[in-house]
Amino acid sequence: MKTLKVLILLISVLAIIFVSCKADNPDPVIKKGNQSVIAGDSIAFESVLRSIPAEYINAARQDLHIAYQHTSHGTHVAYGMFGLPDFEDGDETLFAITNNDPQAGKLDFRDLALASYAEAGVDASDLSRNETAFIQATRNYLDDPVNSEINVVMWSWCNIAGHNVAANYLPGMQTLINEYPAVTFIFMTGHANRGNNVGDGKPKNQADLIIDYCRENKFYCLDYYGIDTHDMDGNYWEDAGDNGDSSTGGNYYADWQNSHVLGVDWYENKSAPGGSATYGAHNTQHITANRKAFAMWYILARIAGWDGE
User: In 3D, which of 195, 207, 257, 215 has the Cα closest to residue 232?
Assistant: 257
Query: For residue 33, what pLDDT is reported?
Result: 52
Could you tell me the pLDDT band of residue 250, with boundaries at 50, 70 and 90? confident
- Is the pLDDT at 127 greater than 50? The verdict is yes
pLDDT tens profile 59-104: 999 999 999 999 999 999 999 999 999 999 999 999 999 999 999 9
- Please enumerate in sequence order all residues whose Cβ is within 8 A of that of 147, keeping only pairs 6 or more positions apart, or say none: 67, 113, 141
- Is the pLDDT at 27 greater than 70? The verdict is no
Domain boundaries along the sequence of the chain: 34-303
- Is the pLDDT at 13 greater than 90? The verdict is no
- Is the pLDDT at 21 greater than 90? The verdict is no
Least confident of 13-22, 38-47, 213-222: 13-22
Show the beta-strand stretches assigned E in the chain.
37-39, 65-69, 97-99, 107-111, 152-155, 184-188, 220-222
Query: For residue 216, what pLDDT is reported?
Result: 97
DSSP string, 127-156: TTTSTTHHHHHHHHHHHSGGGTT--EEEE-
- Is the pLDDT at 192 greater than 80? The verdict is yes
Percent with pLDDT over 70 in the chain: 89
Task: In whole angstroms, give the CA distance from residue 10 to residue 19.
Answer: 14
Query: What fold, for 34-303?
Result: Rossmann fold (3.40.50)
User: In 3D, which of 247, 240, 246, 200 has the Cα closest to residue 224?
Assistant: 240
Output the pTM of the full model. Answer: 0.89
Query: For residue 309, what pLDDT is reported?
Result: 87
Query: For residue 143, what pLDDT is reported?
Result: 98
Is 97 or 24 the better-scoring residue by pLDDT? Answer: 97
